Amino acid sequence: MLRLIDRVLISLCVIAFLQTPGIAQSTIPAPPATPKHPVTDEYHGVKVVDDYRWLEDWDNAEVKQWTAAENARTREYLDHIPARPEIKARLAKLLSEASSRYTSLSYHGGTLFAMKMQPPKQQPMLVALRSADDAASEKVIIDPNALSDKGSTEIDFYVPSVDGKLVAVSLSEGGSEDGTAHVFETATGKELSDHVARVNFGTAGGSFAWNADGSGFYYTRYPQGNERSAEDANFYQQIYFHKLGTESGQDTYVLGKDFPRIAEIHLSSSDDGKWILAAVSNGDGGQYAHYVMDSSGKWTQVTQFQNEIVGAELGTPNDPSLYLLSRHNAPRGKVLRLDLAHPQISKAEEIVPQSSGAGANKNVRASITHFMPTDSRLYVEEEIGGPSRVRIFDHHGKQLGTLPAPPISAVDDVVHTTGDNVVFRVATYLVPAAWYSLDSASGKTSKTALVETSPVTFDDAEVVREFAVSKDGTRVPVNIIRRKGTKLDGTNPALLTAYGGYGISLAPHFSGALARLWLDQGGVFAIANVRGGGEYGDQWHKAGNLTHKQNVFDDFVASAEHLIQRKYTSPAHLAIEGGSNGGLLMGAALTQRPDLFRAVVSFVGIYDMLRVELDPNGAFNVTEFGTVKDPEQFKALYAYSPYQSVKDGTKYPSVLFLTGENDHRVNPMQSRKMTAGLQAANASDHPILLRTTASAGHGIGTSLNEQIDQTSDVLSFLFDQLGIQYNAVSH
């Protein structure tokens, strides 16, 4: 489950640059003494020595003392960078002046639900509105900020009942993602007595689906009590049913005893609640099986892992169908339709074929990622190398048009309201995101009241989309944000980011205050759509997973070299950042090409690829990364594993590792071991720093204040290491 949060990590670090020669770096204390206690493992005849195995044990007092010493060192350095207070104050001011942001919209029983982030509140809250055009009708159902004065309580996810009168909410603490279900009345915000523990966790996530009459809900359940061994406590997710007004101990088993140990279940119901859909993924590698339950309670398995069906949606009550996203003989996706009365995959009818890229658009390689069925239409979301579009079809596959959007934008989050009407979100790099509504009868699209505004504008900026050429000749998109008239003389400080995993695409997104700060200082920001993502479909993903993972790192290095060759920047002015799977990318890039970058920022990353699968969430990632148990996969893992690739006497760039104590997706020991290894091996004067947050996890649920602190630290680190003088410019 790394992939769900990793989009967020990209936006936590955007940079302001102004090159000023001769800026003195802040004094950096020496790192704490870190003894080596070698442990040798043998994999397929290869002996591997691990000097810092002891840092894996968080229960060890010495590990906690070492971590505290590393934190103290990092704070001593960061807190004495002269510009940090001004940077933090500027960030806090601009973020507090930003408008509210609405996400995770859903429509039930005539009510529109949304998660609303309203600075300076620390956490998003759940609200209800009559429509997206009537912001004045907004009512708060639950505000987690009122539950914790530190902003540590978060909403993991929510699902309203079919009639919209009740809503089930998963709440957790401190970024742990260890969620408990609560139920609230929509009209009053009153909480019912129902509590169901462990419906969500960082390994397999969590989900709800209400029954037709709102008397209870189906939910994803982790093992309780002594049902499983401690090692399996966060595996073997199953489906249970909770009847309102009863104790959770009376909940009934529904489905899942035969699911894999690493099953991840997503539940949904039809608009009338007569059908329940369970999408079951086999870990994080992209294999899915689908089950439907009819009104009698009978479950039917519709697809199996080998069928290459990667998405499914139930039709409306006026259209009792099941729609499927297939990649069988269609790596960029096609949409199939099944009659729910006879849901056999062999009877599926192709409605929307794979995009052929024919005619005027012959070079367009569009990949279907999601779709939304309405009464008589299908709204089909497609990625085109990063940017996206939504095409409209009828239920027979006839194309009816495309939702309007500017160039290099992301059109996503299509939400069905009534009939064939939808609301949808449009995001770009330079304009705040906005929700639009489409009236199907008139064909009119209009901006709703759910529009984000920013205290800064970008009339002086532009986005250019270029292509780097990777080691094997593959063309890799690189989106470059710059001020108009930027001189290409190799002196611009630049920040390059990418992800490259799980079929996740890095789509255009607005960074607001952070991007404005960064551009005002003359910086260049680049986002590379490397392989491993889903920008061009399943082939693009599979070309960067398992034994092909090295392609991701080659694409990233090629993107960096492209920026240098085009004279956007130079190695002395180039910084890189990434998080989670993108943190793995940072580790591989800095160990494979330490000469290419001056500074690296890595959030909650994976670095020891030989040990990652031993952690609970690491087992879910085996289908994406591979396992040391397989000889060929071990060979690939060992070849690029950042921790094992650290070499004594190498001049490494400056590195800042950030992690959270409550991270259940990537074990914080990954950052501890990588920090220790680099500190011991580094032959340069550049610092290797570790920042561990006690009140955060993988990034989900991080409070606004902690985000400001983190970003201030990252900016200060990069300014100091690149010799940059922060210059406050108002826009």
Cite the active site residues. Answer: 580, 698
Q: How far is residue 571's CA from residue 723's CA, in Å, rounded to a whole number?
A: 13
Place of tokens 């670095």: 607
Place of tokens 């709102």: 214
Q: How far is residue 164's CA from residue 160's CA, in Å, rounded to a whole number?
A: 5
3-state DSSP percent of the chain in helix, strand and coil, to 5: 25, 35, 45
Place of tokens 């960067």: 544
Q: Are 681 and 648 in contact (CB under 8 A)?
A: yes
Q: Are 546 and 486 in contact (CB under 8 A)?
A: no
Q: How far is residue 535's CA from residue 500's CA, in Å, rounded to a whole number?
A: 10
As a dihedral over the C-alpha atoms of residue 513, residue 515, residue 521, residue 526, rounded to 10 degrees, the angle is: 170
b/e burial code for range 453-462 (CB count within 10 A of at least 16 → b): ebbbebeebb
Q: What is the CA radius of gyration of the chain?
A: 25
Q: Is the peptide bond before 124 cis (omega within 30 degrees of 0)?
A: no
Q: Are 465 and 478 in contact (CB under 8 A)?
A: yes
Q: How far is residue 501's CA from residue 506's CA, in Å, rounded to a whole number?
A: 10
Place of tokens 């639900």: 113
Q: Are 545 and 625 in contact (CB under 8 A)?
A: yes
Amino acid at 712: S
CA distance readout (Å), 512 to 91, 518, 555: 10, 10, 28
600 Cβ partners below 8 Å, 6+ apart?
575, 576, 577, 586, 589, 590, 653, 654, 655, 656
b/e burial code for range 193-223 (CB count within 10 A of at least 16 → b): ebebebbbbbbbbbbbbbbbebebbbbbbbb
**Cα 529–Cα 534–Cα 540 angle in degrees, nearest 5:** 80
Q: What are 443's two structure tokens?
A: 């064909």
Question: Interhelix angle for 84-97 vs 704-722, to 10°?
Answer: 140
Span between the terminal Cα atoms of the chain, in Å: 39
Q: How far is residue 620's CA from residue 281's CA, in Å, rounded to a whole number?
A: 10
Residue 393: half-sphere exposure toward Cβ, Cα within 13 Å: 21
CA distance readout (Å), 453 to 102, 405, 524: 12, 18, 23
Judged by DSSP in three states, 624 sits in helix
The dihedral through the CA atoms of 179, 181, 182, 185 has a sign that is positive
Strands 288-293 and 399-402: unpaired
700 Cβ partners below 8 Å, 6+ apart?
4, 5, 8, 154, 156, 175, 177
Judged by DSSP in three states, 359 sits in helix
Q: What are 225's two structure tokens?
A: 């009590």
Q: Are 603 and 613 in contact (CB under 8 A)?
A: no
